[in-house]
Structure 1
């Protein structure tokens, strides 16, 4: 603390050094030596010196107070911000003081994710944050469920909860879990609207109710994305109201570990004539991909060239059930995983239908499994009422069934060619 020094000279003349001049000479901390008085002996008595000393200290204190006020004004905003941050931290510590370490880490993760999403506000207009937030909330809800299980029964209860993954309280005869499908819907919407930017045309051709068979080309890839996107499109964007469609997925997809239960819970059904007949008998709409495994595993050089349709099962179903056939062309899905080669020796070792080699897989590891963001277009054609044209008895005429099968194949191939001519780029559409 800087003190004002008062010098009393022999003639009674007083000389005061101001703070600026004195600070250039020396600086003293608070609590240092008292004010020094430099006066010759006998020039003034003790009381005069004490009075002058008190007045000098009063003036110096007033000056320091003014300087301090100006400094507070200049830093008040910063101090208020720091104080507010400290209060928030104290509240956060208080809220978690009675919780277990697992819950504390969970809350910390939630705060970090909120901060990250808040910083990505620039992407709100693209809907990326909303989709990511929904997915994160589902993940955090799962972790919270594990935390509750751990608190109630320890590690044993948590392991039981982990083993229950894949089960549901209410499923239909094919394993469809409506609650699980609702949780997965935000992810499907993100893929549909933002990743592949799907364009839909002619969806009104699918009947709003009653049995129907949707017939489409199949994509090459590791996962039946085309089946899920087709079902999602009709459920959420069909003009006049959504329509649930149950896609029939070939057996080869169920050989990949863990994939079968996921597909069943989101509404897919293992492809077979019996399963299709059961669904149609209950007035469901089904989606079939007659190319089968050959369509999924086709090479990139064979993209959009329809493989030979397996038998004529969907035609027989249409004739016997009276369900209309709705042809569909899907553009963009056959380029998300460009298959350049197949390592069949490794496929046999892993017990999978095929082991594809793409520009990204297996070279980039698991990252190579991420599908490319191609531009999709899904086009529905006018329905075909084969039962009305030929009667239910025509299902026993193999020659007619084969001819009708090739007729549908030719129509879908024509739709694919027309859609390809209308696009300018694989990624821009």
Structure 2
């Protein structure tokens, strides 16, 4: 009987493609142009990521900006804070409908989301508690697919029906994530099973904290910080991996549950939604090896070792640093860093926060010394988000699911856009570089 190891040798040999062939055939690997810009494959009115100006093929770095429906995300954040209210519900409304809601519209929409947070009758017992998962993203994906069976009209692709499905799923994601986490704690970690009913009057951020904490208690600053994180993660243009995956699936006229599960599966990856977990683990390793967190030379030496592939996971990557579009700054990282400072002070974690600031300050010079690179490089949102979640007492296994609680708003907006304006199945080309072979009868094959 053949072993997996024997089969693997066949795969690694026969699936290998020489990197020179990608150059010869001008393949846009990762749908990226040679200068690192993304290949233009679609148009959108939903989100815009701005990190450089391209003039006659030359990139000029600029301060990073993120726009939701043409509005600077920083304005959404600062205005909600100035008015003393949570901003994620307003952000969802803007992304879905393309306009800012007035006071009555925002109140009605927030109430609608609150009312829809409760899962269908028996769903939690039958689909979550009886089939728990060690991985919450895995359980979120399976739960969304299962909700298809609770929908009386799941295949109807009319904009009205898809909008109904999207609003229900945006509302239900926090409850699914929280219940999946509680089931995992009970069945795999052998802790008490504690399930709370979602409060319809709470904001999404308050609901998440209430559902995942046994005592349901949280401070105003904690809820404000999570609300900020939800706003900043809600959308990032049509080309990010998970949103493009939703566009891809939606273009094939699949149902809403299948399309959004495609986004979940993409976001689960460490190169996408799971990146902040890598940052947190790298920082834990740094703390083990660096005795003085305020010692610039000692911290720089560690980062240099990471970049050379001699420390942490030996990939040569400093996680949370650099971005495909942002050059001088990632606006999400800037906003989250500023909020993190207040939370760190409340939690007596300023020493750790200052370590993050130190890394942000010295990492460009480390890149210049180790890589000889003069490119502008900045922290991305993942650099601070894991630290923030940790201060909020959110366990590592919920980092990416909470990202999904936010990003589902962007996925739904892009799904609606694909249904309204797409009209054509997305099908990029792959060139086959396998040489032609003749069929050999089984009697003539080597043993």
Q: What is the TM-score of this pair, normalised by structure 2?
A: 0.21
The normalised TM-score by structure 1 is: 0.21
More strand by share: 1
Higher RCO (C-alpha 8 Å, min separation 6): 2
Larger radius of gyration: 1
